[in-house]
Structure 1
Amino acid sequence: MLRFEDILGHEQIKEYFKNALERRQVSHAYILTGEAGMGRKTLANAFAMALQCESGTAEPCGVCHSCRQFLSGNHPDVVYVRHEKPGSIGVDDVREQIINDVTIKPYSSPYKIYIVDQAELLTAQAQNALLKTIEEPPEYAVLFFLTTNAEGFLPTVLSRCTILKLKPLYDHVIKGYLKDHEKVSDHQADVCTAFARGNLGRAIALSGSEEFVQMQEIVLHLLKHVMDMPVYEMAAALKEMKEANLNINDCLDFMQLWFRDILMFKATKDTSLFIFKDEYKYIRKIADHSSFDGIEKILKAIDKVKVRLDANVNFELAMELMLLVMKENIV
């Protein structure tokens, strides 16, 4: 079911849509912008379903003919724009599926709705081709552009659309969802929530990812024992990370969260603030063997590695230098 009340977070956008439905003040073009996984498509679908619902209320009823068509994926007046080329949405795509089609009145609904996912892939030519449709649409036409980057749109398009920006969800909302719906442990919910940074879709994906679990095991072992590791063991751990084909940015983010916990414990002694609550023994040990200045140097070293790897510096060299900084500052 696609009810606004069932969508987590995004209260301002949901309220905006419900007000538009109640007052029948619907814009002809919307840009929903936010990270992948934040719920852009879910919000657009809920609004589209409510617009076509025969009940005429701010929430779709889910039982009328229109709602049943929508839920089955066969609504004749809701068009999901496809594109042949994986890296772009071109003029031919929008001309065939929107510009030529929009002149045909809805079959059975008050609106004809077009949903363009990955709209950041629209070429400049395709956007220019759409301008007349956005400027002078038929009364029944509603366009949704779902994008991770609204800055990629031409100013002429942006000025003619209602722009709605999705905001990150609160951590407690995401953690609660993971525990209630994905049935993950309290510890894993904490880690996935911290990693997701307010993105529910990313948190759900991480909670079911075997690769993410493997990454935690490998990186945690390294972090817990780096102070006692000889250089050859560090090199072996880095080799394991590389051979496991782990996402190195995720590994580095994980390291930052680990040292964030150490810093928080050193400053407050409050274990309730931990992300890695199950690792209290190791966090306390490392906190006792490091200084505030040392932890700051380690966090700076992790940031520096990210920059170096983006610049294609040798992986082993960059990572070994970072681990040596860790080792030197945990004494």
Structure 2
Amino acid sequence: MSFREIWGNEQVKQILRLSLGKGRLPNSLLFFGPAGTGKLKTALTVAKALNCLERTDDSCDRCDSCLRIDRGQHPNVRVITRDKNREQIVKEQIEELNSLATLRPWGRGRLVFIIDEAERMNETVANSLLKTLEEPRSFAYFILVTEDLQLILPTIRSRCQVLRFNPLSQEEVERALVDRGFPAERARLLAQSSEGNLESVLETDWDEFLSGRNQAWLIFKQLLEAGEVEDFLSLVAGRARKDALSGFRETLKFFSVFFRDLLVVLAGRKELLLNPDLGPELEQVSRLVSAERAGQGVRLMEDYLGRLKKNPNLAIMGNELTIFFREIRND
């Protein structure tokens, strides 16, 4: 995969291509940003560019070196990640990296060490990497990848060029899906619910997604039409927190889409519906909601989705939302 095949974060890719083309790429890089924004794919593309036999600013994706890296078989490129049965990257893995980083690379290429989930190095393990980052050999490059920059030791951050990866826009996700052969209507709906995470969307099972949407629509109608809250509150009651958080997040993402579709119906633009198969039901429900309230609903769902990233009290959030739906019905 070359830079042009990685969607989004054009500024980051431009910085990397210019640095590679001029032979001025820093030996230590730190990529951070949300899941699904292409951080690891970009790191591997940098590794291919540093070892490519035909190009210097990108991977050609056809030379022997690029193909070896794609297969995970190139002697110059190592991806370090925690073992499946461990929560952390262990000291032995970094000690091996430190040793390998002193050896000459194979052929005319460069050594590249990619540390995925770099936040899973504890302080002792991270400190064992410091000297290698401080005094790298000219032919050795290190790329640390993380979702949370604050979990990386300041001493590690200060020795790397830090590059931020932003979530993809809905338009970028939609174009990427259409480019991969998704039907346009399906791509629009998936993109609206993606939160900028293209990789997660690409792994989505459509039948499961549609089943989740239908369940969320049923709960949405229950709240609006009859004020029935039991099914909605059951999303967070009596469940393990991880499951409750996941289920609540997915439901709020669908609620945001439903409110958006209600705005479209109220504006008389049904051709823009993200859920055209729900058109007749949306039209019926729209009689209960003003455009102002539907707009508030979109903003409130987006606000709550942001709050879910900060470990909130789900029961309180659930009760707040039932009050909001009750206020809509009482208007």
TM-score band by shorter chain is 0.7 to 0.9
**CA–CA distance in 1 between the matches of 2:57 and 2:48?**
10
Report the number of matched residues.
Answer: 321
Residue matched to 2:41: 42
| 1:224 is aligned to 2:226 | no
Residue matched to 1:33: 32
| 1:64 is aligned to 2:66 | no
> For structure 2, which runs of at least 5 residues remain unmatched after alignment?
none
| 1:78 is aligned to 2:73 | no
Residue matched to 2:196: 198
| Residue pair 1:301, 1:325 contacting (<8 A) in 2 also | no
Residue matched to 1:252: 252
**CA–CA distance in 2 between the matches of 1:321 and 1:17?**
45
Q: Equivalent residue of 1:69, what SS? A: helix
Q: 1:68 to 1:204 in 2, by over 3 A?
A: closer
| Residue pair 2:48, 2:66 contacting (<8 A) in 1 also | yes
Within a 5 Å distance, the mapping from 1:307-322 to structure 2 comes to 310-311=312-313, 313=315, 319=318, 322=321
The CA deviation string for residues 164-213 of structure 1, in whole angstroms up to 9 with x for no partner, is 11122232221122234152x4333222111112221122233x254322
Shift in Å, 1:141: 0.7
TM-score by length of 1: 0.83
**CA–CA distance in 1 between the matches of 2:180 and 2:130?**
42
Q: 1:252 to 1:62 in 2, by over 3 A?
A: closer
Within a 5 Å distance, the mapping from 1:297-308 to structure 2 comes to none
| Residue pair 2:235, 2:247 contacting (<8 A) in 1 also | no
Residue matched to 1:287: 286
Residue matched to 1:95: 95
The CA deviation string for residues 243-289 of structure 1, in whole angstroms up to 9 with x for no partner, is 997722211221133223334654x4444554334433333433332
**CA–CA distance in 2 between the matches of 1:242 and 1:102?**
51
Identity over aligned pairs, percent:
23
**Greater displacement, 234-243 / 190-199:** 234-243
The CA deviation string for residues 51-110 of structure 1, in whole angstroms up to 9 with x for no partner, is 1012243232333332232222110010111334632123222112x1122111113243
**Greater displacement, 159-168 / 241-250:** 241-250
| Residue pair 2:37, 2:198 contacting (<8 A) in 1 also | yes
> For structure 1, which runs of at least 5 residues remain unmatched after alignment?
none
Residue matched to 2:134: 135
**Greater displacement, 234-243 / 289-298:** 234-243
| Residue pair 1:298, 1:329 contacting (<8 A) in 2 also | no
| Residue pair 2:34, 2:166 contacting (<8 A) in 1 also | no
| Residue pair 1:286, 1:330 contacting (<8 A) in 2 also | no
